[in-house]
Chains A and B, each alone.
Chain A
Amino acid sequence: MNDAGLRTLDEIPKDGRAVVRRIDGGSQFASRLAAMGIVVGASLTVLQNTRRGPMLVSVLDTRLALGRGEAQKIRVELSSPS
């Protein structure tokens, strides 16, 4: 897969929509995310993203709070800019 168009999730601003393309951080992290709806191919909407602290995303009818460190391990492709 071409990584050039990918960004980390924490770079996506509020109301941005993106599709998950890669998840770094090991299998434990990936399986925890998966059980909460974040897998490769899932589309996310960013609900809140201030510069500091955790961010809020919506995926599969669920809102999830994600730590910034966690969000940095999720590579996404922007599907529609805000």
Chain B
Amino acid sequence: MTAPSPQPAAVQHPVLLGLAGQPNVGKSTVFNLLTGLNQHVGNWPGKTVERREGMLTRQDARVTVVDLPGTYGLTTNSPEERIARDFVLHEQPDVVVVIADAAALERNLYLLAELLALPTPVVLGLNMMDVAHSQGVEIEPEVLSAALGIPVVPMVARHAQGVAQLQDEAVRLAGAKESFAPVRPEIAAPHREVLADIRGLLADRVPAPYPADWVALKLLEGDAELIALTRSWLAPSAWQQVEALLAAHEDAILDIAAGRYAWIERMVRAAVRRPRLGQVGLTDRLDRVALHPLWGMVLLLAVFALIFAATFAFASPAQAWLEIMVVVPLQEWLRASLAGAPAWVAGLLIDGMLAGAGTVMTFVPVLTVFFTALALLEDTGYFARAAYVMDRYMHRLGLHGKSFLPLCLGFGCNVPAVMGARVIDSPSGRLLTILLAPLVPCSARLMVLAFLTPIFFGAAALPVALAFIALNLALLVLAGTLLNRSLFRGKHMFFIMEMPLYHAPSASTIARFVWNNVWAFLRKAGSLILVFSILLWGLSHYPGPALEASYLAKVGHGLAPLGDVLGLDWRLLVALLASFVAKENAIAALGILFGGDAGADGLAAALTAAIPFASALSFIAATMLFIPCVATVAVMHKEAGNWRWALFGVLLHLALALTVSALIYQGGCIFADAWPRTK
């Protein structure tokens, strides 16, 4: 196999460097060290996976560093693996740097073995040399380099060691690609012949940039993407022969994979000394608690209690502070400066735009706390333990153990719950989590619940409120189980998860994660919230002036037939619709429609007088289950990658809300002997 085209010795264009590595090898730290603040975060085309890119200058060479998603191998098992592979094939980087965990060297070199099947030059960065050393493993990088025939750089990225040398080696190799002559893994003897046969059948039908030898190997491994591609490349007769060969060797992957580890074993034999102690490390000691069926669960609950305590300690005061120090003064200032302007201008700016901007801002403190917690759990290695402990329960919903954490965050706010679904590896598990997350009652809905239940149920408020929360969670389980058996049937992804070693979190990694996510939210959801806030203002003020005479009220009246089934009059329907912009709007709308001037006590009296018992139950159920708020819908769209699934989620919640409300109202009418008002 030869490099596709000879390059001039002096590289003029920026060097394109791909940074590859398995998960949990400290690759992000290396990327941050390489590029500093000179980074750009986007998405891979057509994918919801982040693409991080940065620039560096070294030896007069400008280098574009692309951080590839962490992948264990290069087969197309996951979107991440496909991205990493497509990058190497289609963007043709000048050099790929593989970061490996020196403390789990053999397994980490599997990715290297896969990469060396492609012509791209590779540099190996051996990270966490200190961890390996502390475990009694001694590695001689020069010996490993000589065995592999590629540059090997020892590193301790956490202490910024080895990064300069890594840059030098990468730039040097990028400028001297033709000198790259590694020792490549070879296929085991039993399959050598069939590999040659397949290669022969491919002949010259494999288009650039795919190396034909590599395609033949991947076909033999049963790679689904290349099987589909090859079928389109070959004449039907040639394809049938290939297919027959593959069918006769469908177990070849087992030999090929075992062969790669045999090759790795040969490569590291001279370079690694390990005394094979049965020592008990920190990770083992911590895991005795964290993974224990009982204590693990207790620890998990404690961690969540801590996260929510942090929300109350930091996020809630910050929210209040923003409201008092920023939103209210801004409102007053605008009102004062717009004194001479027409009323609609002031209304649009203050009640439409500023209210929307205020809503956007109230999300920021909560999101900051939650994303910090998420990053902290992920970066220390605890997250995988939490997922392991919860997996047995989540499994039944077709969800991964990792879904538990985002769903649990949903009690605070559904936005980070949906965004947090990104930590789930399998696309179907991620999607299912995104669809189900809004069934977890968020703090805004809990607030509405806490406001309404005492009004209608007096002393029984708490049990009733708890029953409504339980209803939401029961519906989550039901919807999850049903979706898992219908739409998501057979989409089950394998549950195989690495438990990384525990380590101290890195402040800069966490800060970047929080910033990226909060910024992504502001960009994506901010504008949408603003638009809907203005829309709601317009609908509720025109033709006006009072809400009773607005378009929104007309919509409410128009929905009366539906309202009759649900036991909701037009005012309750309007309150429900208003909650789409922000859930707490439901209370404000009730206040206006049922006598806002009477204050909270007056509102309570007005509500109990106007709303029959069964209608109250139905309304509370509807608010708890209704369409997620606009911010959540915005991130559902962003995370699902298209509107189709976001819309499906919206309809799913709408259907649930209407069905449950109707059932509760009709049932309530029969049992509580409360009859609908005629109008």
- Give chain A's interface residues, CB within 8 Å of chain B: 22-23, 26-37, 39-42, 48, 50, 52-54, 56, 59-67, 69-70
Contact = CB atoms under 8 A, between A and B. Distances in A.
Given A61-B107, A62-B498, A65-B499, 14 more contacts: A32-B77, A32-B494, A37-B107, A40-B257, A41-B261, A48-B291, A50-B293, A61-B106, A62-B499, A64-B496, A64-B497, A65-B497, A67-B494, A70-B495
B254 interface: yes
B496 A31 contact: no
B262 to A, nearest CB: 8
B583 interface: no
B254 A63 contact: no
8 contacts: A28-B75, A36-B498, A37-B107, A37-B110, A60-B106, A65-B387, A65-B401, A65-B496
Contacts of A56: 291, 388, 499
B221 A60 contact: no
A31 B73 contact: yes
A39 B105 CA distance: 16
B392 A52 contact: yes
Q: Taking chain B's interface residues, is the majority helix, strand, or loop, or is none over half, making it mixed?
A: helix
Q: How large is the interface on B (under 10, 10 to 19, 20 to 34, 35 or more residues)?
A: 35 or more
A21 B204 CA distance: 38
A39 B221 CA distance: 13
B499 A67 contact: no
B334 interface: no
A70 B395 CA distance: 13
Given A64-B499, A70-B495, A31 B401 contact: no
Nearest to B388: A65
Nearest to A29: B494
Nearest to B391: A54
B445 interface: no
Contacts of A65: 384, 387-388, 391, 401, 495-499
Contacts of B22: 35
B404 to A, nearest CB: 13
Interface of B: 22, 71-73, 75, 77, 103-107, 110-111, 114, 135, 221-224, 250, 253-255, 257-258, 260-262, 283, 287, 291, 293, 384, 387-388, 391-392, 395, 401, 494-499
B449 to A, nearest CB: 33
Nearest to A26: B222
A28 B392 CA distance: 23
Contacts of B260: 34, 39
Contact of A67 (B72, B250, B293, B395): B395
Contacts of B71: 35
Nearest to A69: B495
B567 to A, nearest CB: 43
Nearest to A41: B258
A28 B257 CA distance: 12
A31 B384 contact: no
B72 A27 contact: no
A60 B293 contact: no
Contacts of B77: 28, 31-32
Contact of B253 (A27, A37, A64): A27
Given A27-B222, A30-B257, A41-B261, A54 B75 contact: no
B396 to A, nearest CB: 11
Contact of A31 (B105, B257, B498): B257
A64 B498 contact: yes
Given A56-B388, A66-B495, A67-B395, A28 B224 contact: yes
A65 B384 CA distance: 9
Nearest to A28: B77
Contact of B75 (A32, A40, A60): A32
Nearest to B74: A35
Query: In the complex, which of the residues A36, A56, A62 has the most CB atoms of chain B within 10 Å of its own CB atom?
Result: A62
Nearest to A33: B496
A38 B558 CA distance: 62
Query: In the complex, which of the residues A63, A64, A69 has the most CB atoms of chain B within 10 Å of its own CB atom?
Result: A63
A34 B221 CA distance: 11
Query: In the complex, which of the residues A30, A35, A41, A53 has the most CB atoms of chain B within 10 Å of its own CB atom?
Result: A35
Contacts of A36: 72, 107, 496, 498
